[in-house]
Chain A
Amino acid sequence: MEADELLVLVAGGDQKAFEELYGLVSGPVFGLVRRVVRDPAQSEEVAQEVLLELWRSAARYDPGRGSALSWVLTLAHRRAVDRVRSARAAGERELRVARRSNGPAFDQVAEEVEAGLEREWVRRCLDRLTALQRQSVTLAYYDGYTYREVAERLSLPLGTVKTRMRDGLTRLRDCLGGVA
């Protein structure tokens, strides 16, 4: 069964359907959260929170507003970003310093990518973006920086960052094609 159908059953309290949904989304959810949060123990905690939230709030999924997988991963991304932002706000400065000295985020992406067709494609497509498009997109999505922080880090005007983000995502879409 597709995630969309499963979510409807889950909203009705169907635990079997939730198990099946878990099989479909736990890998992407965990991988994404770990990519953003980094710390393994915290990643597991956030991923668990997200998966449990799927159970609790499945009824809030509205098929008219996008695919089920996109809803799930959007939720996972938000929670992951919340976690890194509050960790940063709490003054985990060494984290920030470590990241800054590591250079642009894409190098980290490149280091961490493992084999996998989708991974390979995304990487290839990220390569085709301009450096500023790529950095604007990955600093926000993979590192959880707001566009204002991205602008600051890249020493760019806010308007430029917003445009680079949009162009970057659109170009990524053209490169990856419409098929999920």
Chain B
Amino acid sequence: MTTLFRRSELHSLAAPYALDALEPHEHKRFEKHLRRCDSCAAEVRALREDAVRLAWSTAAPAPAAMRDRVLMAVRTTPQETASGEPQARARAERPQSRARRSGFSPFLIPLASTTAAAALVVAALFGVQAARTQDQLDQERAQAREIAHVLAAPDARATAGRDANGQGISVVASASERTAVVTGAGLGTPSNGRVHQLWLMLPEVKPRSLGLLDGDTPLIATGLDTNATSLAVTVEPSGGSAQPTTAPVVQLALESVGFGE
């Protein structure tokens, strides 16, 4: 198999590219070429529109349950900015209050809408799709797949809670799959190298660590006990603790997502 293409050979890959029929290494090489070749870009655009006609002819009504699941997931899924960064980092200058513990109440809220303005500004600044490493893309895709898998469970439900300072977590969970996707919202990064640790609160036994929450990267927690009552986030020393050493900065009841009893 040749990995070096002459220019004319590269041009001839436009149609297979439009049909998503290139091998990964060719795909990468062709996309690189596309950025420098205006006539190829125009040709690819036209060929893509042709290919899409083939797609339209296959349209079929999507299952009704899928709509509910997707719209539910949207309520708890953070969006990317045009630069490809999660939005939390785009609003680093948001004033942070330390009065975290007061007045935390769980309620369903469109988590992403608070960052809409930031997203629009960033989208305007970076009109073009910025470069993202393959690793980042792979990781995001793997996450999206995991989340989609949880969502596919018939009993998947979502809930979210945040306090008056905008700190909280959002959860998509399935009791039958014993899995939850947990995303931090507005938690920021604790000072002095400390970390946010997520705990599963259980009746009459000690909390169980579900791992460390890193920014707004979704954490996928599996093997959850179905009698769990809530999720809690505490600030812990670097690397996390075996048991919580501070009071929770965030706590969210799991009853509404089918856990407990």
Q: Are A172 and B53 in contact (CB under 8 A)?
A: yes
Contact residues in B for A53 (Cβ distance below 8 Å): 144
Q: Are A140 and B147 in contact (CB under 8 A)?
A: no
Bound Cα distance from A176 to B57, whole angstroms: 12
Interface hits, A52-104 → B, CB 8 Å: 52-53, 55-60, 62, 65-67, 69-70, 73-74, 76-78, 81
Q: 9 closest A-B pairs (Cβ-Cβ)?
A: A166-B15, A31-B60, A13-B116, A122-B57, A30-B62, A140-B21, A165-B15, A49-B148, A147-B16
Contact of B66 among A30, A57, A73, A123 (CB under 8 A): A30
Q: Are B48 and A74 in contact (CB under 8 A)?
A: yes
Residue of B nearest to A177 (CB): B53
B79 sits at the interface (CB 8 A) = yes
Stretch at the interface among B80-88, B92-100, B248-256: B80-88
Interface of A is mostly: helix
Bound Cα distance from A119 to B122, whole angstroms: 40
A6 sits at the interface (CB 8 A) = no
Contact residues in B for A172 (Cβ distance below 8 Å): 50, 53-54
Q: Are A81 and B20 in contact (CB under 8 A)?
A: yes
Interface of B is mostly: helix
7 A-B pairs in the complex with CB atoms less than 8 angstroms apart: A12-B119, A45-B149, A116-B59, A141-B54, A146-B21, A159-B12, A162-B15
B71 sits at the interface (CB 8 A) = yes
Interface residues on A, range: 35 or more
Count contacts on B: residues with CB < 8 A to the other chain.
Answer: 68
Residue of A nearest to B128 (CB): A62
Having A34-B60, A70-B49, one finds 7 other A-B pairs with CB under 8 Å, namely: A27-B62, A28-B55, A29-B62, A60-B82, A60-B84, A169-B19, A173-B53
Which B residues form the contact surface with A (CB < 8 A)?
A: 12-16, 18-23, 41, 45-63, 66-67, 69-71, 73-75, 77-82, 84, 110, 112-117, 119-120, 122-123, 127-129, 140, 144-145, 147-149, 151-152
Bound Cα distance from A78 to B19, whole angstroms: 9
Q: Are A27 and B66 in contact (CB under 8 A)?
A: no
Contact residues in A for B62 (Cβ distance below 8 Å): 26-27, 29-30, 47
Residue of B nearest to A169 (CB): B50
Interface-centre pick from B19, B48, B112 (highest chain A CB count, 10 A): B19
Bound Cα distance from A140 to B78, whole angstroms: 34
- A147 with B54: in contact, given A13-B115, A48-B151 (CB under 8 Å)? no
